Each structure stands twice: as C-alpha cells, then as structure tokens.
Structure 1
C-alpha cells in the first residue's frame, strides 16, 4: 500500500526528517515524515496502519502532492495492496535465499524498484511523476558504464518551482542515457537504459565500485578546475563567452521577461533560478556560477545582488543601501583579541527564512509610530472575557487589533496590495488575509487568518487561539501559512515601547503592537491629566507603494478604531 503526500498547499516542500524506518509497525495517523517550506515545519501522518516495507523519499528531497512517501504492508490481509506487499516480500526472501552473497538492503531495493523482467537484461525506464507537465534536465549525475544502486540520484530536474533529484529505479549498470542536460522532459518519458544487477558485467564491476567512485570524484574536481575542457551538453563555455563579450549591464530597472530569456540562451541555470533572476531584476549573464560546471544557483544570485549593492550598482528604486551588505567576518581564531568563541547552528526554520529576509535589503522600508488610547476597549474586553473563557476562548486585545486593522485595510486598500514585478502596477487584494506572527521555540512563524473582513471578534479570537496552538505544536499545514496580504506582529507583554517590524515581501505593510501601558493624557475639557491605557503602534511600509502622508493617516485611523471599536459597525 502506497502512502502518498497529501495536499501540501504549495507546489513542493523539502523532506527535513524521516520519522519511521523500514520494519516499523505504525498506526494510522502516526507521523512519518517532517516537511518544511520557507514558512513552517509540517508533520505528515500516515493514512493507514501497517508495517513499513519501503521508504521512497530521502532527507533533502522535494516532494509534492501525490508523491509516494512510504510503502506499507497493510494489516488488512484481504486487501490487494497487502497481497502485493506479501508477494513482494516472499519474492525478496526467495531472492535472498538464492543469492546469499547479496546484501539484504540491495536485494530489497532491487526487488521493489525493478520491473518484472530478468535481472540481467537491459531495460529502459521512464521518468516518474514530476509533479509538473514538464521540467528541464539541469544535471546528469552519472555516466554510461557507471554502476548505480537503487534509489541513487542520477538526474537533477528543475521546474520553476523546485529542483528534484530522480533516483535510479534499480541497481545495475548504466547502458545508455536517453536525455541530455538542458532537455525539457515530461512524465513517463524514457530517460535511461540499465542492465540489471544480475548480469556478469555488473557483478564484476561491483567489486571495483569504490575505486570507480573515487576516480569519478577526482575527475569531477579536475573538470571544475578546467573550464575549457568541458564535455558537450554543458553550456559552461558558451556562458563564459557571453559573460566576457556582453556589454556591462546597467541595473537601473528590471529587465523584461523577453530580454532576460534572450540572454538565457547560453546560460547554465535552471528554470527556478531564471525566474528568481527576473524577480530580482538581475542580468543573469553577469552572474558567476559556483556549482559544478559553473551552474548558477540561487545563492549565486543573492551574492551577485549583494556585491552590486556594495559597489553602488543597485537600481535607484532600491535607494542607497550599500551599508546593508556586510563584509565577511574577520578571523576570530585569535583568542587574545576575540576571546573564546562558540559556534551554534541556526534552527532549520531560521535557515530557510534567510532568503526571504534577504529581500528586505531591496525594500525602501519606513516605519510610522503612533499611540492608541485603548482604555475603553480594554474595559469592553474585560467585560466579555469571562463569558468567552467559559466557552474555552482566549479573548485578548489582539483580536481587536486584527479586526480594526482588517477594517482599515478595506478603507485603505493600497495597504492591502502588492507591487507588480515590472514596478508599473499595484495589485489590490479584494480580501484581507491577515498574517499573525507567532513566536515558537524554533523561531518566528506567521499563520494566516483568511477573510478577516467578514469575521467578528469572537471568530477571530477562536482562530487566533487555534493557530497559536498549532504553531507551537508544529501542526500547521502549508495552507495555514499562505496567502497573507498584510501582517500583524504583536509583542504583547514582552515589553518595549516600540519596534520596527520588517515588511514581509511581497506584502507592502506590517503593523507592530507593543505592550500597552498606563500614561498620563491631558484632558482639555477637564483641564487635567488622566491615566489612560495607551497602546504603541509601529507601521512599517514599502515606500515604493506607500508614501509617508498615507502611512500617517492609516496608522492614526487604526488607532482611532481601536480606541472606539463601535466605529467598525458604522
């Protein structure tokens, strides 16, 4: 029985941890893998109970909806899936008895992966479901004559959404490779011919596999160091020529898609990297690749942007942000200067958040500060929280902030928008999907409340509580984290009088709320100071879309709504 990836809410996510092993007996809803996107960690439960007979993914793989994660030997002996699993197991045991010299792992992988043909025959294999209609062959990781094991990565396939390594369907010897780097391939297309591990040639070659692997590693290192001796099919040389001959680019504004595509003809980069180059407005022919054969990675694009900012080549729309590009750390090994140091790894969530945070170096961000008198609102909340608590609902001031801000966004839709890629249009959102920043042990995570404009305070409070619990328990689905049009970051009772929240691109605004405190406020009518509960607000915004006057008006409007929530009913 195949256990497949459910609807992830995104095109693909990375396997961060495999939580079961072959031979484990699991129950329905037991967690089997941990998937991570750039927003969250999601544990995927098993849809059935049984014994794990095969794990079809590896840590680091990109998976999408419908991809097989594991195979189970079902508890239900009457099911077809179970019958197939039992047959496979019997065949595997029989094969191990006939070939006692083969390792159990190798026999299991070969039996489960290969078609039912003689093991020594040359067999043509087709590509698995790639999750997209077509994708580009970015790298061929084996050569004709190589000995491979089942599930060894042999191709790197890239779409505009993800990079996927295609594993060898069986163990054996590579007889023929039917695709080339740069080819566009589709699901089910024949891509390789492998002689099964039963042939004499493969058996003899297996004895010297370690030496062959070492020789290949040495050869690959040589190839990387000799640019002019690259094999046919790798467009490195052409890309180098393009980099040399092309006139110096002037990154004054983003290139059009047609212009970028013209320059990409002789550049060694996958579709995902090309798409990112368009988004960043980078002339990719000016970027140096760091991967094997000078293939350009996303990290190379970010490094190019940072270097451009440092040398003052950034576009005017980005402003003078050269100081945001930091030099490399000094050598801190000298303890007489730096003292003792300790290295700690970032959490997985922090690591995957860094590329998104790097976008902020390109945003001209400004922050507007204000205060809201929430004295009367807090009285109303105190009156209602008892009945809410009886229903199991936590009724915090955040529910009022979300409701007031959601209403304000319907009245000021430019704050609920995105700037188009070519910087010529603003895309206004018709619904308000509010991101709520939640602190967890692994870092900050931002689940989303959808259609806030249509929900009352009680429903908003319920959803805030549910999302907070799911975030802390790592139970958020990818759908819980997508589609935000604006974000609120509340520091609650953590302290502080104000802060500067970072705009979460492609959004154009984020509202920060600090701890409310009692402050003396002048009452002109009574000619005296009165103690009032004041809530500090910090609105950060993308100055390309929002100007300072509009930001001041919007922040004051939110403050006014929070002071008297009855205005929302008008």
Structure 2
C-alpha cells in the first residue's frame, strides 16, 4: 500500500472553485472506488465527488464550509495494492501513475508536480507514451490546459514527460519557451488593457523602478493562473481586460483570487489613467503662474478633503446584526443579476388577459392527467404559448455575441423555469420545449423543480436556456420587472389567475384573468416587438383552441 493524494476535480467549464459542503467519510474509514466521499457546491449545482481509489482515508485537507480551488489537494488515501515511490528525492508525481479519471466533473486524475524542473524527465519515454495514447487524446490536468491556452501552446504538439505521456505544466512552459526562442529566465512583458499602457502597480507609481517579483506576481503581470468566478471572467472579457492583469484582493491557497470589485477597480483605474494623461498634457501647455495657482487650489482642496474625512464617521465599520457568508449559489445569483442589469438595457412590458377558457380547459385536462399521477398546472400551457410565439418573433429567442458583434437567433427553444429554493433561485432548463406536449411538459417541469429544491440537478440541466419563465403568481403579487437571465434576450413573469373586473359585452363582470410581466434586452428587442410578442401569447392563452392546434 502507498499514500496517494486526490485533488478537487474539474467541476465544469469556467468553474475555478467550490464550497466543500460536507464530507461523507472520515480519516481511517475504508472506501471503494466511485464511492461518494464529499459534496461540493459550485455556483451552478451541488456535485458529488467520488473516490478514485480503493483504500483507506488517511487525511482530509479541507474543512466543511471551506472554499476549495479546483486542482487543490482535498484528501490523502492509503491505496490498496499501490507501490510506494522508488525515489523519495525525485519530484512528486502523486497520482500521475493513474490514467485520467476525469469524467464530467465526477472523477479526477492527480497531476504531476507543476514545480518540477524542465528536462528532469526523459523525453524519449514521454514521446512514446504520447504516441500510444488511445484515440490521440492528450492527458493533462485542467490547470495545465488553462496554462496552455494562456501561453498559446497546442497541447497536441507537446511531448508529455509524465507517466503515460501526461503533459505537465513544465512541459507546456518548455514548449512555449522553445517556440519563442527566449531564455527561461527572461521575464515576460507585462500585459495591458486592450489599447492601453502596461499595467502598473501602486508601488510602481510611487517611484519604485523595479517592483519586487512578489508584487509583480500579485498584480498579475507574471501570474500563471488566476482564480475567479465565471461571472467575473465574463465581466473582464466584456471590458477588454485580461483577468491575469487584474490585481487580486484575495488569495485562495496561495493563488490569486480576483473578485468582481477587483475587475471594476482595474477598469476604473485604467480609465482614470487615460484622463490623467490628458490632463497632464493640458497642464504642460499652461503658464507657470496658472500651474502654480492650480497647485495651490489643489493643495487646499486636498487639505479640506482630509479634514472632512477625519471629521466624517466611517461607514465601513462593523454593524450590528447577524453576518451570513456571501458565497455559493447566493453569490452566483447576485453576480449574474448584477451583470445582467449592468450589461443589458432592460425594458419592461406589462399585460393582462382573459383566462376564462384557459381555466376551464386546465380543470378538464387536470382531471384526466391526475389519473396518471400527473399534476397539470398553468405553467405547461404558458410554455406552449411562449414557444409558439417565439417561432414568430425570433429576436425574443436570441442572444448577443458581443465578441463577434453578431446576434445569434437560436434554432432551439430551451425554456428555463425559475424555481425558488432554500439555497436561492435556480433555473433548470426544459430542452426542446416546442417538441413536447402538455403532459410531458408537466412531468418534466415537476421533476426539474423537485430536484432543484433538493439540490440534485446537474450543471448541464441548468445550461443552454434561450428564454426564461418565472411564476410570481404562485407566491403573490400581480406584476413585476424581472431581471433577464443573461445572455438571453427576454424573460416572462406569470402573475396569478384571479377573478378581476372585466368588460364582457359592454358589461363589467367578475372574470378569471392572468397578468403577464416581461423584460427584454433593448439592444435586441424593441418595445413594439415586445408588445406584439405579448399579444400573441395573450391570443393563444385566451383562445385555447388556437393553443391546442400549436
């Protein structure tokens, strides 16, 4: 038997970390391969992490509630039948002997030590192993693949020095150095905001000609890897900022962790630097007397500002009340909503429809569906009406590719259903909703909603949506201004079906009605088109014969 460490596996595209919610094993406990050892919560779902080995748990390296970066060691096993390392002085390659166990964020392979020196491993065996990889697949950890993308290295062309042809970070760096034909010790050029000057740290601005290596690394100019939430990475991309340039205000297990506030501060500082350069140029052309007078005024203003700051009580002190960590699903929801409102100019549209026929039809069909243990609510009817209307108004089923400056008119109708859970709002997606009947929609929606509340959804079941529906009527209230589930173009909120005053044949009567609220991205959808789309939904829900023909 020999000890093997196990790292938190890749939890999905763009996910850099997860919260270790609970351990299902303890030190000294026997485990079998594929037995669930931990539950990890990402900003998308609760993921079960299986054991990659048969053996005994030696040590748990993370505490419950801790945020754990992907690829960091979380547990050590005493593995059955494993041979101990022959040379303890050699660079660590724990777990590299195993073949790649990663499969859709459910298993992982430990990567070779990324700090090993270039050239320590023989290149001849690695070339042979790489050539023998099944299906031409390149074996590499997620962090190594990320490094290859950053350095512009094609992994297919890199000879892996690890067992089985596994490509390590050292192999990637060696390939990058070879392609550039530069010495390894030559420092990389500082990255910069698109179109601007290289990033300069506060210490550089204060006058240090050569910042320390530690400062350069923390400020991003020499970082090999940056931890950040997916929404933070998207915001940086929208602003034309390389995430590795952004100074990190936090560190997770010794690695830089960039927050949304870091990105905003970096963007603002870049804009301020441009303004300062322009102001400096103008000041240089002014008279010495004016410059002296301006300096005196600025000095007085600085002094006044300092006095005000000293006299004004700080609002950043501790406040009374309970403090709840802002992380996990709640933080993901907050970042997604902020990004949506920050990015997409929202326009809201409110409407009301005569739902008398809809109420009658649902009651009739619900009785039949109940015989098959199917609960038929109003939501499947609305989904049918929405998908039919989307076919006529394709821009409501679109998204904006800002990188390519193109509007993507989706040819699939994948409807997200907002579900309120104890952990926050989740949006599972009904794929190809236009191809499904009322009963099938009812069964699938109920299943997705139940598993969302139990935190049993997979990340794939919450991705790929093209339009979202939220049901505020189930909770209360008539109208709302829902926030778009970015990058979708629109979201529809169902209000309650209630009796309200309604004019029928010139008489005011009590009538079953439903309210609708919709928000659209004004970059993609105009108000007139939103109103026409709403009118089509009203027409289908008010005249159920038309709806059943769709």
Shift of 1:30: 6.3
Q: Determine the C-alpha separation between the residues in 1 that align with 2:265 and 2:442.
A: 42
- Residue 564 of structure 1 and its aligned partner are, at CA, apart by 2.0
Q: How many residues align?
A: 422
| Cα distance in 1 between the residues matched to 2:453 and 2:431 | 20
* Per-residue deviation, residues 533-564 of structure 1 (Å, max 9, x unmatched): 11111110110000110011111211221112
Contact 1:25 / 1:52 at 8 angstroms: preserved in 2?
Answer: yes
CA contact (8 A) 1:22 1:54 kept: yes
Sort the Cα spacing of 1:406 and 1:161 in 2 relative to 1 into closer, same or farther, 3 A: farther
What is the aligned partner in structure 2 of residue 212 from structure 1? none
Return the offset for 1:503: 0.6
Stretch moving more, 410-419 or 300-309: 300-309
Partner of 2:501: 520
Q: Does 1:372 align with 2:376?
A: no
Mapped to 2, the partners of 1:358 and 1:477 lie a distance apart of: 24
- Deviation for aligned residue 1:449: 0.5
Would the alpha carbon gap of residues 436 and 20 (structure 1) be closer, same or farther in structure 2, given more than 3 Å must change?
same
Q: Structure 2: where are the runs of 5+ without partners? A: 104-110, 119-140, 161-165, 172-183, 202-219, 276-312
Q: Is 1:350 the counterpart of 2:330 in the alignment?
A: yes
Instruction: State which of 297, 300, 308 in structure 1 corresponds to 2:258.
Output: 297
Match of 1:257 in 2: none
Q: Conserved in 2, the CA contact under 8 Å of 1:126 and 1:191?
A: no
Alignment of 1:114-133 (within 5 A): 116-119=85-88, 121-123=89-91, 125=93
Q: Decide whether aligned partners of structure 1 residues 272 and 549 sit closer, same or farther in structure 2, where only a CA change above 3 A counts.
A: farther
User: In the alignment, is the contact (CA less than 8 A) between 2:330 and 2:424 conserved in 1?
Assistant: yes
Q: Classify the secondary structure of the residue corresponding to 2:332.
A: helix
Q: Which runs of 5+ in 1 are unaligned?
A: 74-84, 89-111, 145-154, 164-180, 194-230, 246-264, 314-328
1:35 maps to which of 12, 23, 40: 40
Q: Is the 8 A contact 2:500 2:512 kept in 1?
A: yes
Distance 2:397 2:540 in 1: 18
The Cα offsets for residues 128-174 of structure 1, whole Å up to 9 and x where unpaired, read as 56979xxxx9x988999xxxxxxxxxx994756999xxxxxxxxxxx
Partner of 1:494 in structure 2?
475
CA contact (8 A) 2:397 2:467 kept: yes
Select between 362-371 and 15-24 the one with higher mean Cα deviation: 15-24
CA deviations over 1:480-516 (Å, ceiling 9, x no partner): 1111111101123311111111111111111011222
* 1:403 aligned counterpart, secondary structure: helix
Q: Match for residue 418 of structure 2?
A: 437
CA drift at 1:275: 6.4
5 Å-filtered alignment, 1:522-561, equals 522-523=503-504, 526-561=505-540
Name the SS of the counterpart of 1:432 in structure 2. Answer: coil
Are the counterparts in 1 of residues 147 and 169 from structure 2 also a CA contact under 8 Å? no
TM-aligned CA distance change 1:497 to 1:346, over 3 Å = same
Q: Deviations over 1:370-419 (max 9, x none)?
A: 11221111111111212222322111111111111111112211111111
**1:359 corresponds to 2:359:** no
- In structure 2, C-alpha distance between the alignment counterparts of 1:244 and 1:28, rounded to whole Å: 49
Q: TM-score, normalised by structure 1?
A: 0.61
Match of 1:53 in 2: 57
Q: Secondary structure at the match of 1:23?
A: coil
Q: Secondary structure at the match of 1:465?
A: helix
- The partner residue of 1:451 within 389, 411, 432 is 432
Indicate which of 321, 330, 352 corresponds to 1:341. Answer: 321
CA deviation map 1:436-478 (0-9, x unaligned):
0001111111101000010000000000110111111111111
